[in-house]
């Protein structure tokens, strides 16, 4: 079975074969600029506690993270940009494959993104996703986690040419997005694992999530 990293690598190879080098250079340059900006130096990390929050899911049901954390031994929080992102789709489909394993380990998965609920509902139904997709309007929670950023000016025209309409997807008049980030939280709201990368082409490998959970369970025995 191909890893998430390999699937993304294959997609990127195909994408680069279709896109002019000049466009690739701009996209790569934007990623490098973000990596060097140190903008995420204050992102929540291992040992920090997550804030309490309530957001509505794709079915417009209010989900209180307090209820989720207290009900499960572990909570996996995974941020993504939206269904317009091929990388996000790879990420969600890969996460879907471990939902049953998470349940066995007394863990639950909650995903968070800024796109509107109608789009998340369509995404969920299209891929039969068995987890909540919370609507983080204006990236409020992403900002609390220290992982929100604004798409650079040079990238916006490229996205438009690729028919990626972030303004329409989020309907908040901005190009603000969360970086893909994955956190594993225990019942004390404490982060025991954190994946945050300024390169949006990188995603947390689902196997890593399972391995971290198993290791923590063994260490607690």
The closest of 139, 186, 161 to 18, measured between CA atoms, is 161
Question: ∠ CA 208-68-170 to the nearest 5 degrees?
Answer: 80
The confidence band for 40, taking pLDDT boundaries of 50, 70 and 90, is confident
Tokens in use for 202? 């990188």
One-character DSSP codes across 118-187 = HHHHHHHHHHT--SEEEE-GGGHHHHHHT-EEE--TTTHHHHHHTT--HHHHH-SSS-EEEPPEEEEEET
- CA–CA dist 194, 119 (Å, integer): 27
Assess whether pLDDT exceeds 80 at residue 1.
no
Q: Which residues pair with 34 in a beta bridge?
A: none
pLDDT tens by residue, 107-136: 999 999 999 999 999 999 999 999 999 999
Percent of all residues in the chain with a pLDDT value above 70, rounded to a whole number: 100
* CATH code: domain of residue 16: 3.40.30.10
How many folded domains does the chain comprise?
1
Give the pLDDT confidence score for residue 149 in this predicted structure. 95
The confidence band for 38, taking pLDDT boundaries of 50, 70 and 90, is confident
Average pLDDT of the residues of the chain: 95
Looking at residues 179-207, what average pLDDT do you find? 96
Going by their DSSP bridges, the two strands 148-150 and 191-196 should be labelled as: unpaired
Looking at residues 152-179, what average pLDDT do you find? 94
Expressed as residue numbers, the domain containing 209 is: 4-219
- CA–CA dist 75, 186 (Å, integer): 6
- Whole-structure pTM value: 0.96
């Amino acid at each position: 079975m191909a890893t998430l990293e390999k699937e993304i690598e294959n997609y990127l190879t195909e994408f680069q074969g279709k896109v002019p080098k000049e466009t690739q250079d701009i996209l790569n340059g934007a990623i490098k600029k973000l990596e060097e900006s140190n903008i995420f130096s204050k992102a929540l990390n291992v040992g920090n506690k997550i804030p309490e929050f309530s957001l509505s899911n794709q079915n417009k049901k209010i989900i209180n993270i307090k209820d989720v954390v207290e009900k499960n031994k572990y909570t996996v929080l995974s941020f993504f940009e939206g269904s317009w992102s091929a990388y996000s789709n790879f990420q969600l489909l890969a996460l879907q494959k471990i939902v049953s394993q998470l349940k066995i380990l007394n863990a639950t998965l909650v995903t968070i993104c800024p796109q509107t609920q109608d789009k998340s509902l369509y995404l969920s139904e299209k891929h039969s996703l068995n987890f909540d997709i919370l609507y983080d309007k204006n990236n409020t929670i992403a900002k609390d986690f220290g992982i929100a950023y604004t798409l650079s000016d040079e990238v916006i025209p490229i996205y438009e040419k690729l028919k990626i309409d972030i303004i329409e997807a989020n309907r908040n008049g901005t190009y603000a997005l969360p970086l893909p980030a994955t956190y594993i939280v225990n019942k004390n709201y404490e982060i025991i694992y954190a994946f945050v990368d300024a390169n949006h082409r990188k995603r947390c490998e689902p196997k890593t999530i399972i391995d971290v959970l198993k290791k923590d369970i063994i260490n607690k025995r």
